[in-house]
Chains A and B, each alone.
Chain A
């Protein structure tokens, strides 16, 4: 059994309680990711097979895709992977402030990626591409949508981990407060994504000008105000308080989360290659 409680030091690379030295949670996550590989393998294969059997009325993906946007989204996701790796490191060092900042950074970049996807979907819908309009629409939306769900679940998990860093050390009731914290987060995320995506659409249509932003602000005032108010509440909820029950012993939890986040990043690189870049060969 674990001896770290006596010695105070944790070996983050070897768990003495298991037969192999690999922590159970890490092994579980690796096995799950192997399974998840097969999920995406089946979806990507479906897309590639139907790519060879285009239906009449399929749009030309080259005209549809905006490589700039997708490249930006890919870059953003890669950065978020770096941040989550740093968050694992910070947790192992019990440096609470860095953990929170890095988790928030990862969430932020994950949300930018999701906003890019919402923006892209909006454009494609305007072009008339739907789930049923053509086989390309069917496979494209299902594949990238499944990946988007994985990112969204990852963001939820990151958020829960961030909220977890506020659990008071004295075991005082905390669960309702944490749920409230999560609710505010959810509101900010939805309102924020609406504001950002509508601003991006505005810029796309009317150019990058003050008038555009004024127009967007007028139409989406509620969303912007809710975002701003929510951020203020989050800042208030996130102010430093008494001792919390979160330190290097939680590193394995953050590491499992990190493995998942890296995995969806890698999957995105595959999707970016075979769904987007392949069309431009």
Chain B
């Protein structure tokens, strides 16, 4: 049994199986629906994340359009106040938890293992589980649209006492808030499990020679983001657990009438909520730190400083949460301290921006579509940063709190920042994933429409906010002086929608009919470009040895040395039995569906059903453990050894 030599410690129980029960026969389909439901391949899971995230991106965008139509003219009756509340709550929740975070996770999954020279993540089945749990959470959050009680409507930060039973009593038939509470908890499970996996993968699965300070910046930001997720999600999970106890079991955490302190919710929420902001932006910063060097044809300027600044932002991000609460009366010392901390966090962010400009400086710039989005990122993100600095001064924030000025600020950092970078990343890695290249004309056209539409939508909001328009206003009177800016903003929203439409249409067209791009179309610098397009299931025929920070750049310029080295390593791997791949499994999706079923029953107070769902989940995990990691071998020519799951 050569497999035994190859298998990781603890996996030996899977060898030599003359008779395996049908329960533990591993699925082997490589195409079709079963292959996707049982996949453990990080690239496929990345694609699943991307497709679901883009779907929810469109859903959240549609909700935003309804909001803008309602606000286009004063005293509008397009949607009711109740629907409006559901729209802004679900727009934010969807965009943050179901669009931007999973789209970042898609890149983590697909790109990060390739950048460190790994064949998969550390725990492939757990990776699948994280995705299916994400789907469970997304279903629960959105189930409200299809039932009588309606969608969640207490705002995305769900301040107490709006979430109390007085306003939405599940026993009285309104379970919208319970769906929100349960959905976010489940999404938290997915994010934490996924992040633990990424942390172990980055620390432990690096190829020989890939020291921490040679990791591509995107991988570094994946690591920092993963740490932010595992350390900040517990705060919101506990807040949600306490809220769930209040709503389901009559405890008093946030019941002001019984001595509860609603302010505690705000603290717990923002201890999560502020790191969450960096969870959304750091992956974006990682993506553009890959794009700038490639299209400037220079190494990244100040690599160690950029890495250090990213980690520094991560640390400081835990110390600024109360700047969301300047108007709650925390006392002048606390307010001053959080003000200073917030100003301090602008320093590492500014350092990064200067380093990106330093990368561009004197480079041979190639103005391709990903580069356009990345440059748009710098400009727009700085805009959002400038209004952010204004908020950090507590007296100014007292004026801006809960106004459209804040809405303008966070859309500049979230769309102009995160979304621009993610759209850049899709363009950048599309040729790697699908082997086709988006036409430059259509790519750039979509960029300009999005860029113009975005600014026309959100720039007027600065003025609306300073003129006193509060956020979450469903209807305003015609004599407030808000009419023109609101109309312009709504027109901008439709331009933005057209831009996004063009972007997606071009992507779909390119997937089927686009120009074939071949290997390494951008003359890339990092390891993922060493692979053929699309990458084979086992990624690397031979695990690469890393000699420099821009690993693939070095390979391209030392071809003879690299090919000699690879020949030696290929022989070594051959002697170990070839390339070892993890087997597919049904149990991640079984366990996740148990969680989904149990949660839906719990929200509806059918405890027997909740226990049954929980039991299905536990059984799924039990069989998952019992079946073992499995594994089979492939040779680089693409033939596996036909021993699926047998050793």
Contact = CB atoms under 8 A, between A and B. Distances in A.
Given A25-B10, A28-B123, A39-B237, A55 B250 contact: no
A249 interface: yes
Chain A contact residues: over half helix, strand or loop, or mixed? helix
B200 interface: yes
B208 to A, nearest CB: 8
A171 interface: yes
B436 interface: no
Interface stretch (B71-79, B227-235, B302-310): B227-235
Contact of B260 (A131, A135, A142): A135
A177 to B, nearest CB: 12
A31 B199 contact: yes
Contacts of A139: 253
Contacts of A46: 238, 242, 253, 264, 268
Given A27-B199, A28-B196, A42-B238, A15 B9 contact: yes
Contacts of B261: 49-50, 53
B605 interface: no
Interface stretch (A2-10, A75-83, A198-206, A258-266): A2-10
A38 B239 CA distance: 12
Interface in B480-516: none
A240 interface: no
Contacts of B260: 135
Contacts of A273: none
A42 B206 CA distance: 34
Contacts of A53: 259, 261
A60 to B, nearest CB: 16
Nearest to A24: B122
Interface in A168-182: 171-173, 175, 178-179
Contacts of A167: 13
Interface in B1-46: 4-10, 12-13, 16-21, 23-24
Interface residues on A, range: 35 or more
B258 interface: yes
Contacts of A54: 259
B44 to A, nearest CB: 21
A135 to B, nearest CB: 5
A171 B1 CA distance: 15
A66 interface: no
A43 B252 CA distance: 14
B277 interface: no
Interface in A41-68: 41-43, 46, 49-50, 53-56
A132 B199 contact: no
Nearest to B626: A175
Given A27-B203, A49-B261, A53-B259, A138 B251 contact: yes
A175 B21 contact: yes
21 contacts: A1-B6, A1-B580, A2-B9, A22-B203, A24-B122, A24-B123, A28-B197, A31-B230, A46-B242, A46-B268, A54-B259, A55-B259, A131-B249, A131-B251, A138-B251, A142-B241, A146-B241, A171-B19, A175-B21, A249-B10, A252-B10
Given A42-B238, A245-B12, 17 more contacts: A3-B5, A19-B203, A19-B205, A20-B203, A27-B199, A28-B197, A28-B199, A31-B196, A42-B235, A46-B253, A55-B258, A132-B251, A138-B245, A139-B253, A142-B242, A160-B622, A250-B10
Interface of A: 1-6, 10, 15, 17-20, 22-25, 27-28, 31-32, 34-36, 38-39, 41-43, 46, 49-50, 53-56, 131-132, 134-135, 137-139, 141-142, 146, 160, 167, 171-173, 175, 178-179, 245, 249-250, 252-253
